[in-house]
Structure 1
Amino acid sequence: MLSETSTATVRATLPAVGAAIGDIADLFYRKMFAAHPELLRDLFNRGNQASGAQRRALAGSIAAFATQLVEHPDTRPDVMLNRIAHKHASLGVTAPQYEIVHTHLFAAIAEVLGDAVTPEVAAAWDEVYWLMAGALISIEERLYAQQGVVAGDVWREWEVVARIEETSDVATFQLRPADGVPAPAFRPGQYVSVQVELPDGAHQIRQYSLSSAPGSRLRSITVKRVHQAGAPDGEVSNHLYAEIGAGDRLRVSAPYGDLALGSADIPLLLASAGIGCTPMLSMLEHLAAIDHRAPVTVVHGDRSPATHAMRTDHALLTEKLPAATAHFWYEDPEPGHPADRTGLVDLSEVVVAPGTHAYLCGPLPFMRSVRTQLLAKGVPAADIHYEVFGPDMWLAQD
C-alpha cells in the first residue's frame, strides 16, 4: 500500500507523468541499452524494441499500477503482476536487474520532467516503483521455487527429436531434455522461452506455447515463421524455420504462463486465431485425457483452411470430448464452407453455457473482439483469460 503522503503526491502528478510516460519509457530504454548493451543483445526482444511495442507496454503497466494504488489502495492488480512475472521468470530475470531498471528509469523521469521532479515527487514515484518491483520479485521467486531452480537459472539444453511441417509457414518441433533428466511438469496452456544464437552473436529469446499435453512423452512447440526475414521481429522464427531440424539442440526455459486450465469440470470456451491455436491444442489433448464431461466450445479464426495449423488435430481432439463443438471461421474458405462461418469470428449464434470460463489466444484485435462478445453474452470479465505473446498492450483492461 502506498503511504498517505505519497498517495497525495502521485494523485497530483499522475496526469503529468501519464502524459509524458511514453517519452520517459523511450528515453529509459535508450539510456539503459547504452549502459548495458548486453541486455538488448541477449535478453530484450529486439523486434519489440524496434517497433516501440515494449516502450508502450512499459508505459501502460506503470500507469496502470500507479492508478490502481491511488484509486483502489486496498487491492493489488494481481492479474497484471502475475502475467508480467511469468514472462520475467521464463526469461530468467533476477532481482538485481530491477536495480538497473530503477537507475535508468528515474534518470529518464528527471530528464523528461525537469524541475517538476521535486524531492517529494521523486520519493513518491520511487515508492510506486519499488512496490511494483517488490511484488514482481516476490512472485518470480515463488515461480522459480516451484520449478526447483535457482532464481534466473531456468535454461536447459533440449534435443529436437523430430520436425513436422504443419503448413507452408508453420513447423512443430518435438523436444526432449538433452541430459536425460525428466522434463519439468507443466499445465496445459503454458509456454516456454527458446533462446537461439543468431549470426551476429546475439542470443535472442522468444516464447512459444507447448502444443502437446502434459502427459505426452515429448514436449512440442509449434512455430510460425514471421515473413520479415532479417527484421528484428522475425529473426528467431526465421532462424528456427530455416536452421533447426532433428538432432539439433535448443536452449529452452522451464515452463511458465498464467493461461492454464484449472482442474474443475466446468464449461469451457477455447478461442484462438492463427498460431494462437497452439495452447488450445494442449488444452484439448489434456481434456480428452482426463475425460472432461462438461461442455467445451472450440472457436478458431484463420485466413484459410490451408493456413490453419494443425487443423485436423484441432477437429479430431474436439471430437474426442463428449460435449464439445468446434466452430472454424475462414476469411477465404473452401467451397462449401458454411456462409455463417466465413469472415471474422462472430459468436452471435454460438451458444455459451452458463458458468463458462473462456481462454483466448491470438492477435490483440481478435481477443478484444471475442472478449467484448463474451461480456455481452454475460460471461464475467474475471472468467475470461488470455495470452499475449510479446509486450502486453492490454494490461490496463484487467
Structure 2
Amino acid sequence: MLSTESAATVRATLPAVGQAIEAITARFYDTMFADNPELLRDLFNRGNQANGEQRVALAGSIAAFATALVERPGELPGTMLSRIANKHASLGITEDQYAVVHKYLFGAIAHVLGDAVTPEVAEAWDEVYWLMAETLIGLERDLYRESGRGWSDATVVARRAESPEAVSFLLRPRSPMPFRPGQYVSVQVTLPDGARQIRQYSLSLAPERGDWRITVKRVRGDAAPDGEVSNWLCENVRAGDVLRVSAPFGDLTLPPGDGPLLLASAGIGATPILSMIDHLVATGSERRVVVVHADRAPDSHVHRHELKELVESLPGATLHRWYEEAPECSCRPTPAVGRADLSAIDLPDGVVACLCGPLPFMRAVREQLIARGVPASDIHYEVFGPDLWIAGRS
C-alpha cells in the first residue's frame, strides 16, 4: 500500500503521467537497448518492439497498477500481476534486472516530464515502481521454487503439418516436468544473425500424455522481425532436433472442481483449450463442458478433427463452431457461418469460462457472457503476446 503522502502525489500527477506514458515507455526502451543491446538481441521480443505492442502493454500495466493503488488501496490487480509474473518466469527474469529497468524508466520519466518531476513526485512514483517490482519478484520467486529456473533440452520426437500455416512438434523433455492444462513453455532459438530470441507456445496435449506438444503458426507481418521465431521453427525444425525450452508457466489453467465450463477459442488460441479438453478426457471427467471455436475456415482450424474426437469422448460436452468462410465441409455437427455468437447456446448455471484467441474475439465473447449474467470474475483469458487488453487496445 502506498504511503499517504505518496498516494496523494500519485493521484494528483496520474493524469499527466498517463498522458505521457507511451512517450515515457518509448524513451525507456530506446535508451535501455542503446546501452544494453544484448537485452533486445537475447531477451526481448524484437517483433513486439518493432510493432510497438510491448511499449503499449508496458504503459498500460504501469497505469493500471498506479490507478489501482490510488483508487482501491490495499487491493492489487492480482490477475494482471500473475500474468506478468508467469511471462517473466518463462523468460528467466532475475531480481537484479528490476534495478536496470528502474534506472532507465525513471530516466525516461525525468526526460519526458522535465521540471514537473519534483523530488516529491520522483519519490512517490519510485514507491509505485518498487511496490510493483517487489510484488512481481515475490510471485516469480514462488514460480521458480515450484517449477524451476533456467533452460533444458527437449528432443523433437515428431513433426506434423496441422494446417497450411501451422506445424505441431511433439517434444520429449530431457527431464520429465509436470504442467497444468493450459500452460505454455518458452522456446529459445538461435537465429541466423546470432540473436537468441525467445517465444512462448502453449502445450496442446494433456499432462497425462507424457510428451509435450506445441503448435506453431507462421506469422506473416509487415515488420521484418514479425514471426521470426515461429517462421524459423516451421521452416527448419525436424524430428531428431533438440530445442531449448523453459519449464511450463502460465496462469490460464483448467479451473478445478466439477463445475460447468465454457472453453472458447479462436484461431491458434485453440491450443491451450485443447490441452484442457484432452486432460478432461484423459481423467474421465463428467463435467458439463461447452466448447466454442471460431476460425477463418475449416482448413485453417488447427487440430480440427482432434477437437471433434475429444469432445465426442466427453459425455457432458457439446461443440459449437463458426467459420467466416464456408466452403463445402463434411464437418459434423454443421458449423455456423460468420463470427461466434453465444446468444443461442445453452449455458449452465455457474459456468466458468476460459477464453483464448485474438483480442476482438475475446472482447466480444466476454461481453456476450456478461450480458447473459456470467460474473466477470468467472471469465478468464490468455493473450498471446503483450497484453494489450490491459492497455485498452485491441
Give the TM-score category using the shorter length. Answer: over 0.9
Q: Which amino acid aligns with 2:103?
A: T
Amino acid at match of 1:268: L
Q: What are structure 2's unaligned runs of at least 5 residues?
A: none
Matched, 1:168 2:164: yes
How far apart in 2 are the matches of 1:196 and 1:231?
17
Structure 1 residues 219 and 27: CA distance shift in structure 2, 3 A: same
Given that 2:342 and 2:368 are in contact with CA atoms closer than 8 Å, whether structure 1 keeps it comes out as: yes
Looking at structure 1, the residues matched to 42 and 366 of structure 2 have their Cα atoms a distance apart, in angstroms, of 35
Structure 2 contact 220–226 (Cα < 8 Å) conserved: no
- Give the Cα separation in 2 of the matches to 1:325 and 1:168: 27
Q: How do 1:318-397 residues align onto structure 2 when only pairs under 5 Å count? A: 318-335=311-328, 341-395=336-390
Partner of residue 297, structure 2: 304
List aligned pairs for 1:150-299, cutoff 5 A: 153-177=149-173, 179=174, 181=175, 183-228=176-221, 231-299=224-292
Alpha-carbon distance in structure 1 between the residues aligned to 2:222 and 2:164:
15
Contact 2:24–2:108 (8 Å) recurs in 1: yes
Residues 1:62 and 2:62 are matched in the alignment: yes
Question: What letter matches 2:267 in structure 1?
Answer: G
Q: Say if 1:274 and 1:309, in contact at 8 Å, map to a contact too.
A: yes
Task: Give 1:199 shift.
Answer: 0.4
Unaligned 5+ segments in structure 1 are none
* Count of matched residue positions in the alignment of Structure 1 and Structure 2: 390
The answer to whether the 8 A contact 2:56-2:391 is kept is no
1:214 is displaced (CA, Å) by 0.5
Native 8 Å contact 2:262 2:351 kept in 1? yes
CA deviation after TM superposition for structure 1 residue 231, in Å: 2.1
Q: How far is 1:128 from its partner?
A: 0.1
State the Cα deviation string for residues 129-154 of structure 1 (Å, max 9, x = none): 0000000000000000001x3xxx32
TM-score computed with the length of structure 1 as normaliser: 0.96
Give CA-to-partner distance per residue, 1:308-351, whole Å, 9 cap, x none.
01100011100111111000100112336789811110111111
Aligned-partner Cα distance in 2 for 1:384–1:361: 11
Query: Counterparts in 2 of 1:59-138, with a 5 A limit?
Result: 59-138=59-138
Distance (Å, rounded) in 1 between the aligned partners of 2:219 and 2:346: 34
Secondary structure (helix, strand or coil) at the match of 2:286 reads coil
Spell out, residue by residue over 1:258-294, the C-alpha distance to the aligned partner (whole angstroms, 9 max, x if none). Answer: 0001320110011000011011111111001222212
Q: Distance in 2 between matches of 1:217 and 1:75?
A: 39
SS of 2:137's partner is helix
Whether the 8 Å contact between 1:229 and 1:235 is mirrored in structure 2 is no
Question: What is the CA–CA distance in structure 2 between the aligned matches of 1:245 and 1:385, rounded to whole Å?
Answer: 35
Matched residue type, 2:171: L
Identity of aligned residues (%): 62
- 1:27 maps to 27
**Once the 2 structures are TM-superposed, how far is the Cα of residue 39 of structure 1 from its aligned partner?**
0.5
- DSSP-derived class of the 2:182 partner: coil
CA RMSD of aligned residues (A): 1.4
